[in-house]
Chains A and B, each alone.
Chain A
Amino acid sequence: NAGVTQTPKFQVLKTGQSMTLQCAQDMNHEYMSWYRQDPGMGLRLIHYSVGAGITDQGEVPNGYNVSRSTTEDFPLRLLSAAPSQTSVYFCASSPLGVSYGYTFGSGTRLTVV
């Protein structure tokens, strides 16, 4: 049981490049979400999904796209990377209807130069 798997663990991008951060879970969780973590800012919600085909914006969605074609996968796309997107990105999942908290991935550290 792998839980929540994020790839890659580290990435360096040049300004203007695009890329996709991958997130996969094998727990059949309906809810999946993406957070970014910045020093002194805590965790900020980027996008979330309550099931395949359903996505919604969080607190800081600008510059990011998501899709949810399967229950297992929830990729985060950076359309045109900017230095302000340098951050650590976490994917999290949970079942709907229960409140036992989220299962987090180990994170992707992204640097945009």
Chain B
Amino acid sequence: GEDVEQSLFLSVREGDSSVINCTYTDSSSTYLYWYKQEPGAGLQLLTYIFSNMDMKQDQRLTVLLNKKDKHLSLRIADTQTGDSAIYFCAETYSGGSNYKLTFGKGTLLTVNP
């Protein structure tokens, strides 16, 4: 079966870079996603990466994918207090269809002024 794991907490200082890590077990995953959840809100899609890519950059966000180690990371440059949220990693499960996502438990990012 599929599984996605993340560390539960990360604390950084404002202006520093944040790196949130995720590991997954399904070597056949086709798409991997990062979602952001602010307090009291639903999940918002931040970015996604196809499994045939190694890196994707979008403004302050950089996603790195190491397929050999089944490791996905999200780097947030110049982290701001507004980045404080829970970040979820998710993958599609190739044993099902590409609409079924498996989520990690989420990493709570705290940005200290």
Contacts and interface: CB of A to CB of B under 8 A. Distances in A.
The listed residue with most B CB atoms (<10 A of its CB), out of A40, A42, A100, A107, is A42
Interface stretch (A67-75, A78-86, A90-98): A90-98
A42 B43 contact: no
Interface residues of A, number: 24
A42 B103 contact: yes
A104 B104 CA distance: 16
A105 B42 contact: yes
B103 A106 contact: no
A28 B69 CA distance: 37
B88 A43 contact: yes
Contacts of A50: 97, 99
B33 interface: yes
Interface in B48-106: 48, 88, 90, 92, 97-101, 103-106
B42 A94 contact: no
Majority secondary structure, A binding face: loop
The listed residue with most A CB atoms (<10 A of its CB), out of B40, B41, B43, B101, is B43
B106 A42 contact: yes
A31 interface: yes
Contacts of A98: 98
Nearest to B35: A101
Contact of A99 (B8, B40, B92, B104): B92
A76 B35 CA distance: 24
B105 A101 contact: no
A95 B98 CA distance: 10
B101 A101 contact: yes
B88 A99 contact: no
A103 B101 CA distance: 12
Contacts of A31: 99
Contact of B105 (A42, A95, A96): A42
Contacts of B31: 99, 101
A99 B98 contact: yes
B30 A99 contact: yes
